Amino acid sequence: MKINLVEKSEKISSEVEIIFVKDLENLTNDKEVLEILDFKAKDESCVLLAESKKIYVGFEDNSYECIAIATATAIKKLQTTNFKSAKIELNEVLEENFKALVEGAALGQYKFVDYKSEKDKKKIELDIIVDEKTKKLESILNESKIIAKAVNKARNMVNTAPADFYPEVMAKMAQEIAKDVEIKCEIHGESYLEKHKMMAMHSVGRASIHESKLIHLTYKPKNPKFKIVLVGKGLTYDSGGLSLKPADFMVTMKADKSGGCAVLSTMWAIAKLELPFEVHGIVGAVENMIGGNAYKPDDILTAKNGKTIEVRNTDAEGRLVLADCLCYAQDEIKDIDYIFDYATLTGACVVGVGEYTTGIMGNNEVLKRNAVASALKAGEYATSLDFNRFLKKTIKSEIADVCNVANTRYGGAITAGMFLDNFIYDENKNKWIHFDIAGPAYVEKAWGYNAHGASGAGVRTTIGFLKDLLED
């Protein structure tokens, strides 16, 4: 999709005009027709008047979410027609929410059609009409297009079938991203994991025919303000291992790589935006399968930091991969200012806060609140989940340092986060946040400006958090 900023004095050839409606009573044109069609000025309400070549779209308030959803709704309506271009005249409300307008359009037009025999090849062009182009508007336009493209990159990776996207492919994708934005990329295989005693991650991928890969991207500008580490769970497919998932629960497990895909796409966006931070992106790309060499319930694994883990469920594998990746990050990168991990870690988080919300955990209450605020500001739902001493006892093991699952079915998202805390070094305890994106990462129905499938959860939150650091 091409989005242009066009001054009123320039020649405009758009076929359709998109008109935003918050109050039907204030309309001067087409009011009677819209009333006959029972059009409501509500989120996701939209009507096309083909003869007058107008798309009316409702919105309820002047928030990022409402404007983004309205724009996406109008673009989706446009996609159902033979029209190929549209215009939006920027008014005061839309100018105040220009970021939402651009991102809503770019995210709303997304379709994953790689496996369709007949692909929709129609390209849409959107002209945003302004009295005068300003540096501020041009800056927001360029930035938002990069962010939306990064989200769509993550969506494409997550939506790709597991037969076509396994650890080696994920590593190759990381190399392509690094080449595109000229950042450093290191790929390590299973011999590296063994040599450096990363046996938690190594064990998870043991039964797969695809070799596990540890991916490390590095973006290092001159005079960086902070040093930030992003760690992603890259389970390219999760069968559950010997603790095999029920058939219905195995469907959608291609999305278990969402955290890793978010990290790769975010690294691309950070480099494209030339943000003044040194950022490391670390992904554990692994496939959790069954076979004669599979790791087993009752196994005792030793992580990179020397802690021993009692395995009581091989389907609690993402935390094992993250444990070693977090240790690797802290061993290889010194003087970290922030360390964030992203994972579709627990179904319990989806049960607790719903499909659309990220659960944010950690030891630093201020940092968690700031992360939630950045997420909401960037257009993603998020909430804080608190650790407590009583749940910590539930992951105690009688024969190892820690157990990979709790002895209670309650508070599963939090106990998983507390498991990861065992692999955060003391000096980094207050610098770390765990993002459980199990809910929003992949939803099997369209919602807001998200199509069926992957949403690219985590990308906008992270970019928003980093940009908010610049304002502090």
Burial class (CB in 10 A: 0-12, 13-18, 19+), 334: exposed
CA separation for the pair 6, 2 (Å, rounded): 12
Burial class (CB in 10 A: 0-12, 13-18, 19+), 268: buried
CA separation for the pair 311, 239 (Å, rounded): 16
- Catalytic annotation, pick one of 54, 145, 213, 319: 319
CA separation for the pair 38, 21 (Å, rounded): 14
Sole residue written with tokens 């910590």: 392
Q: Are 24 and 60 in contact (CB under 8 A)?
A: no
DSSP string, 88-145: EE--HHHHHTHHHHHHHHHHHT----TT-SS------EEEEEESS--HHHHHHHHHHH
CA separation for the pair 246, 192 (Å, rounded): 33
121 given a catalytic annotation: no
Q: Are 216 and 282 in contact (CB under 8 A)?
A: yes
369 given a catalytic annotation: no
Helix (H) or strand (E) holding 189: none
Q: How is residue 384 written in tokens?
A: 């804080």
- Catalytic annotation, pick one of 245, 307, 377, 392: 245
**What residues are labeled active site?**
245, 319
